[in-house]
Structure 1
């Protein structure tokens, strides 16, 4: 194909809404399967996929049959703000940087208006929210590097996830606002674009994430027990 490369631009990406698990899937199952198979087949020439619809700042990863990351999708936040429980966002605007020879995406800069400090939505009050490569510490933007970011979401103390979740709502939410259910929905939406597999992932991730928190509680209980034992022994010696 004469070294041609392709961008795919659409209103919707396949998969689930990470902020509303019960929302109807964006693609019907048959069309989703066909689309994802096409992406896997032509991943070597598809250098970027761009979509919106969700009003959130997120990304998606496509894997091959061996779970190797082969393609990515960027979901940009909307210019239209939203103020609803769980799905709020500030206005966002994105500027991509790309290689004019290969078409590969090199970076992007995300701009936003902070409605808390600019309640009238001053159209001239656009600020830089973040730069992708600097924000996540990336040397390049590939399915593999984005997969590495997504994998950190399974760690309940992930600094990468904290950065991601703040960007997800364009600075409307803080990491503390995202509980375990929220975290697993984010991880599964990024990594499982088939709607059925997304829900299976949510259930599996719920068990894994809950398990990752338990040891900390056990350690705290053990430490408290040891401290109580020390106090009791000390009191006995004094008596």
Structure 2
């Protein structure tokens, strides 16, 4: 097969199987063989012989054939999709100076035989990013009240301005409920389980949050602003989504400070991020986020350089917001991590920040978008993250993530010891069959240790029915469960959560209760077979891709 055919395979396979999650009808063994065969040709010739424009018609045609076979409208989707992802994919492949086997292993088309690539060998640092004034904690705080600190987490809003009531919900596109689409079903007033969030539902949520009593003391937002219409995306559409949401929440929650993390959907094309080519994005984020929080100068420096930052959010309590796009499998630029000083700098920054926090007597909250054990993370992300968090287990008091849209947790377990818990909150958007959700954590005001969390949902089916009956004033955001009570946890220590995963093995009703909450009680998913239950347990016991693979394989 020639270089042109190889290019077709690489681009369409990478994009369709990874970014969109379209399953290709091949085993991993055959995918590995094909990847090796084609990559050899690409490595030998792509820099001098072909460009994306040379293969564009065939790329779009092959994309359409594959998507049509999977029930999508390939001829509509593929021109925009391929024109977004094709050029950067060619750039990435042309920049790689690696043997084909390593390329295919990093893309996880081939399994690694060894784990030689250790990512925490840090040789590069962004200059002057840690020149902030590190204030010592005040251990003599005179708290007027002993109520818990309340931390509100919002994640994965995916606001869709094109959402239109009454449009099809099954349309053969990646997201539906837009005017002019053909298909079946009828989009409700407040959303659909197959579509992204309408503004009407975000209005309901923020109106409700305004009435919370007591109000949250801290708000964290763990990313993903734009909708899933990536066949129509542009730099302007992505930037506009973030700008709108920042202004909207600033207006609706005017007295609140919001601490953000960068999601994979903030970029263009969606999920692709590479600092040398994305400074305009991080410059924009540094500007936008200042409407939510007064960022110190060192935080602005690291946001602009790599999309991460830290700041002291109250005496003795530090927040670290990490850029998880560096660890996202669907970000093909991760193939160039070795060429990216900012990638290594974030790792070094994490360790130096945590070490300084130890010396200053601070506790630390980590927020990010993609959890280190998620199946879409690259293996090296969790292999770095887990030992670092285990090393600083005594000061890390919260780890809050999103991305999956599901209600989940991952226990960090290393060398026989539970060392931390990664909490993954369900999304505000109902897309992927869940009810719109938000979460409130309770934190001890003296020790800063978590003591519980409360999970809230809005029943989308019920809300749409009430809207049809002109009874919108009866729509409620309801407490779904309180974690300690629901799972019979004696406390919120990592050991208690690890023991819960042990109980899952022997208590099927408890596990199915967790599975029900995973989808925010939407009742869309009805069965969980033996394989489903195994994967569910493994996901709770794995905070890295390595651990997840060892558990499930």
| TM-score, with structure 2 as normaliser | 0.33
Q: Are the counterparts in 1 of residues 390 and 412 from structure 2 also a CA contact under 8 Å?
A: yes
How far is the alpha carbon of 1:175 from its aligned partner?
8.5
Higher relative contact order at CA 8 Å, sep ≥6: structure 1 or structure 2? 1
Alpha-carbon distance in 2 for matches of 1:31, 1:135: 31
The corresponding residue for 1:114 is 459
State the shift of 1:196 in Å. Answer: 3.4
User: What displacement does 1:50 show?
Assistant: 0.5
CA distances 1:2-38 after superposition (whole Å, capped 9, x unpaired): 4311110111111134xxxxxxx32x22232111111
Contact preservation (8 Å) 1:94, 1:109:
yes
Match of 1:81 in 2: 430
Deviation at 1:176, TM superposition (A): 5.5
Tell me which of 379, 385, 388 is aligned to 1:38.
Answer: 388
> Who is 1:210 aligned against?
none
Structure-1 residue corresponding to 2:536: 186
Structure 2 gap ranges (5+): 1-358
Q: 2:550 aligns with which of 173, 186, 200?
A: 200
Q: Is the 8 A contact 2:411 2:422 kept in 1?
A: yes
Match of 1:144 among 481, 486, 495: 495
Decide whether the 8 Å contact of 1:149 with 1:160 is kept in 2.
no
Q: CA deviation at 1:142?
A: 0.9
Structure 1 residue runs of 5 or longer lacking an equivalent are 18-24, 204-239
Deviation at 1:136, TM superposition (A): 1.1
* Structure (1 or 2) with the greater strand fraction: 1
Give the Cα separation in 1 of the matches to 2:526 and 2:504: 14
Deviations 1:173-230 (A, max 9, x none): 4896111111111111111223233123113xxxxxxxxxxxxxxxxxxxxxxxxxxx
Using the TM superposition, give the Cα deviation of residue 100 of structure 1 relative to its aligned residue in structure 2, in angstroms.
Answer: 1.3
Matched residues, number: 189
* Partner SS state of residue 455, structure 2: strand
Name 2:421's counterpart in structure 1: 72
Report whether the alignment pairs 1:6 with 2:364. Answer: yes
Alignment root-mean-square deviation, CA: 2.1
Deviant stretches of 4+, over 6 Å: none
- Structure 1, residues 70-95: CA drift from partner, whole Å, max 9, x if none? 11111000011024xxxx21111111
TM-score, normalised to structure 1, is 0.73
Please give the alpha-carbon distance, in whole angstroms, between the structure 2 residues aligned to 1:54 and 1:138.
24
| Larger Rg computed on CA atoms | 2
